[in-house]
Amino acid sequence: IAIGAVVIRAPEDSSDEIGLYDDPLVMVEVAIPYIGGPLVLAGIFAATFSSGLASLVGAPRILMSVAQDDLIPALAPFGVYRQSDKSPVRGYFLTYFVSGCCILIGSLNAIAPLISMFFMITYGLINLSTFALEMSKSPSWRPKFTYFNKWVSFFGFLMCLVIMFLTSWYIALASIFLAGALYYYIHFRDPNVNWGSANQAREFYDVEKAMMRMRNHRTDNDKLYRPHYLIMTGEPKDRLHLCQFIASLRKGYGIT
């Protein structure tokens, strides 16, 4: 905000690459003469190197975890690792290949909005996850930050959405569609993993509250009658015919 308040704004019909929008090195222009410029450039190089190194190291391990959980079967070859230090070598090669292809485009600004969208989706979902965990009343969710507030997390999620659409609305829609498609694909496959998600905690909480509310409901009305069964089957597969018979009786969706 401070930089945007002091830099020059070029007219909309101007071809000059000046101002906060057109000049990516505008901070060098407004920095302290002879001292601020080199410091800004050094900071840019340091931030770029650290972010690139963190992504190069972190992305393969995330890919390996996704492959090991069998979320997307096509990624199964990337679930293996080197036995000596458990490094995801295949993930390193894939990350290097994708990074090299992006660099060979010759203009990082062409893909920068898309990369920014994925980062904003990540930050937004982290905020939404903390909000959902707080709403789910999960006993394992105990934030140590004294001033944590669930509504601040939700506001952060909304701000990420706003920034995405202000950056590029059509790329934002494409990114949200891609993220949503991945979510529903994994939800549809229903992999056999035990994450202890906020959705599961919320479902348990809702069921508990509903059962407590039922104490005040009268169930002696004929229209509300539902038969409940207690079956002494032992191992169900040994008396499968009895289970099938009871299943035919519980069309009223009673409890068995």
Confidence at residue 157, expressed as pLDDT on a 0 to 100 scale: 94
Enumerate the H helices of 168-197 as residue ranges.
169-189
CA distances from 222 to 228, 251, 255 (A): 15, 16, 17
Cα–Cα distance, 75 to 55 (Å, whole number): 19
Confidence at residue 173, expressed as pLDDT on a 0 to 100 scale: 92
Walk along the chain (256 residues) and give the pLDDT tens digit of each residue: 676 666 666 666 666 666 666 677 777 777 777 787 888 889 888 988 888 888 888 888 988 988 888 888 888 888 888 888 888 889 899 988 988 888 888 777 778 888 889 889 999 999 998 898 888 877 778 888 888 888 999 999 999 999 999 888 888 999 999 999 988 888 888 777 777 777 777 888 888 888 888 777 766 677 777 777 777 777 877 788 887 787 777 665 666 6
Identify the CA nearest to 7 among candidates 35, 22, 47.
22
Confidence at residue 244, expressed as pLDDT on a 0 to 100 scale: 79
Backbone angles phi, psi at 21, to 5 degrees: -85, -40
Mention every residue, 6+ apart, whose C-beta is less than 8 A from residue 164. Answer: 117, 120, 121, 124, 172, 175, 176
Please, what's the b/e burial string for 154-165 (b: 16 or more CB within 10 A of its CB; e: otherwise)?
bebbeebeeebe
pTM of the model: 0.70
Cα–Cα distance, 182 to 175 (Å, whole number): 11
Confidence at residue 108, expressed as pLDDT on a 0 to 100 scale: 76
Confidence at residue 154, expressed as pLDDT on a 0 to 100 scale: 93
How does DSSP classify residue 56? H
